[in-house]
Amino acid sequence: SEVEILADGWTVVTKDRRRSGHFENTVFVGKTKPEVVTE
């Protein structure tokens, strides 16, 4: 779906206003390789 950022500059909604989900991971970038620290 396409998204729209609302006037508060933070809230993101789908243009068709259907339900959606969002997730993030935190990644530590070490000297040898990146490591996901949240899953």
- Contact present, 13 and 24 (Cβ < 8 Å): no
- What mean pLDDT is predicted for residues 8-31? 94
What is the CA 12 to chain-centroid distance, rounded? 10
Q: What is the pTM of this model?
A: 0.53
Q: Domains in the chain: how many in total?
A: 1
Hunting for tokens 């243009």 — which residue is that? 15
Determine the Cα–Cα distance for residues 9 and 32; give it in Å rounded to an integer: 36
The domain containing residue 27 runs over which residues?
3-36
pLDDT of 38 higher than 80: yes
